[in-house]
């Protein structure tokens, strides 16, 4: 009988053959979760694995069956001033290896990291495409913290007349629109640190998350990571002319490895500037730029909390449609340890 072995997987020292095995594993899980998407290329995978910013700590383990990887566990935590109670994890097992205790064994290693790092709350996500994820979470005693949707816009169906109207209607006498392509400008960095805090006003539902307090250093580390991944970021912002305050922004990410799909990231407008069409202006202007400067893009994908009515309203008016559902779960470390004691692998 083949011996299965759990071993750490370190992208800084992995061999070409190990990366190839990891890539085959990732593509098999991806085909189950995102059946319409193309597989991840080896170079894209390696760049992704090696681009973790220094403030993010990530530990990985894989289960080897001879030369094949059949399961993987990841523990991630941030060395930041905020959210020191949190540890994120991700476990995946190939379908033919499920229900044999591999997730439980990987969870043991993840719980060890949480104990060492004194992280009391564990978070993860499950995808509706694989219902076993939810069953595992319920078995652990995890609670759903937030229900989410991936929404997708088919650019061929985009109503250009709507884009024109939303931009025409914008309060241009009081506000101006601007664009940062790639890294943020040094002279604006402190203002951008403050601007990004607007995302702390997005709904968190039951998730026990503290406000994120970005630093200049973290933002630069994220940019270095994007460069390593060959991902290009565009940020559009609105500024109030009178005060020179930044009122809101929207960001998108594009990579030549996946040229047909563009990812819509944050969009936020500070509460005092809401209800004046700035969110619609930002989104419409960005979509127009995408149509003009990235003709290869066929679809825009974004994640939204089900509870985020204002963002969903804008997205659905633009023609985004629900593509899939997923859930963010949270569970106390104590509960995980209790489960592991009661049901040893």
Q: Which residues bind ligand COA (CB under 6 A)?
A: 89-93, 98-104, 124, 126-127, 130, 132-133, 135-136, 139, 343
- Which strands, in side-by-side order, build the sheet including 4-8? 4-8, 56-65, 68-78, 86-93, 121-127, 321-332, 143-154, 299-305, 261-269, 246-255, 231-240, 175-181
Q: How far is the CB of 250 from ligand COA (least distance, A)?
A: 29
H helices present in 175-259, as ranges: 189-196, 216-229
Residue (103 or 247) nearer to ligand COA, CB: 103
State the residue for tokens 């044999």: 100
Q: How far is the CB of 240 from ligand COA (least distance, A)?
A: 43
Q: How far is the CB of 329 from ligand COA (least distance, A)?
A: 7
Q: How far is the CB of 92 from ligand COA (least distance, A)?
A: 4
Residue (133 or 268) nearer to ligand COA, CB: 133
Q: How far is the CB of 261 from ligand COA (least distance, A)?
A: 21
State the residue for tokens 């069956």: 65
Pairing of strands 121-127, 143-154: unpaired
CA 239/CA 270 separation, integer angstroms = 11
Residue (42 or 130) nearer to ligand COA, CB: 130
Of 305, 344, 107, give the one whose Cα is nearest residue 207.
Answer: 305
Residue (58 or 213) nearer to ligand COA, CB: 58
**Any bridge partners for residue 122, and if so which?**
87, 331
Residue sitting closest to ligand COA (CB): 133
Residue (75 or 318) nearer to ligand COA, CB: 75
Residue (98 or 204) nearer to ligand COA, CB: 98
Pairing of strands 175-181, 121-127: unpaired
CA 239/CA 176 separation, integer angstroms = 5
């Amino acid at each position: 009988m083949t011996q299965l072995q759990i071993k750490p997987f370190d992208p800084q020292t992995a061999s070409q053959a190990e990366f190839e095995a990891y890539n085959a594993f990732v593509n098999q899980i991806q085909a189950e979760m995102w059946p319409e998407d193309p597989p991840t290329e080896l170079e894209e995978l390696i760049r992704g694995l090696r681009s973790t910013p220094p403030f993010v700590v990530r530990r990985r383990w894989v289960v080897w069956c001879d030369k094949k990887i059949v399961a993987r566990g990841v523990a991630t935590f941030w060395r930041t001033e905020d959210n020191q109670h949190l540890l994120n994890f991700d476990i995946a097992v190939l379908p033919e290896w499920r229900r044999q205790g591999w997730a439980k064994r990987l969870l043991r290693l993840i719980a060890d990291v949480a104990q060492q790092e004194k992280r009391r709350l564990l978070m993860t996500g499950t995808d509706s495409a694989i219902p076993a994820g939810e069953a595992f979470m319920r078995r652990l005693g995890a609670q759903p913290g937030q229900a989410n949707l991936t929404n997708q816009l088919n650019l061929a169906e985009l109503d250009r007349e709507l884009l024109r109207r939303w931009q025409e209607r914008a309060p241009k006498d009081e506000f101006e629109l601007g664009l940062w392509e790639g890294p943020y400008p040094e002279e604006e960095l402190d203002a951008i640190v403050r601007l990004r805090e607007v995302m702390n006003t997005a709904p968190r539902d039951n998730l026990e998350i503290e406000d994120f307090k970005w630093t200049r250093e973290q933002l630069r580390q994220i940019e270095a990571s994007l460069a390593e991944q060959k991902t290009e970021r565009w940020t559009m912002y609105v500024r109030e002319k009178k005060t020179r305050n930044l009122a809101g922004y929207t960001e998108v990410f594009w990579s030549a490895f996946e040229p047909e799909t563009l990812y819509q990231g944050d969009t936020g407008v500070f509460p005092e500037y809401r209800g004046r069409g700035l969110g619609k202006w930002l989104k419409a202007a960005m979509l127009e730029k995408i149509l003009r400067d990235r003709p290869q893009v066929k679809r825009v994908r974004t994640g939204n909390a089900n509870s985020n009515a204002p963002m969903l309203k804008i997205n659905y008016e633009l023609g985004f449609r629900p593509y899939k559902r997923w859930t963010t779960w949270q569970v106390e470390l104590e509960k995980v340890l209790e489960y592991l004691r009661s049901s040893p692998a």
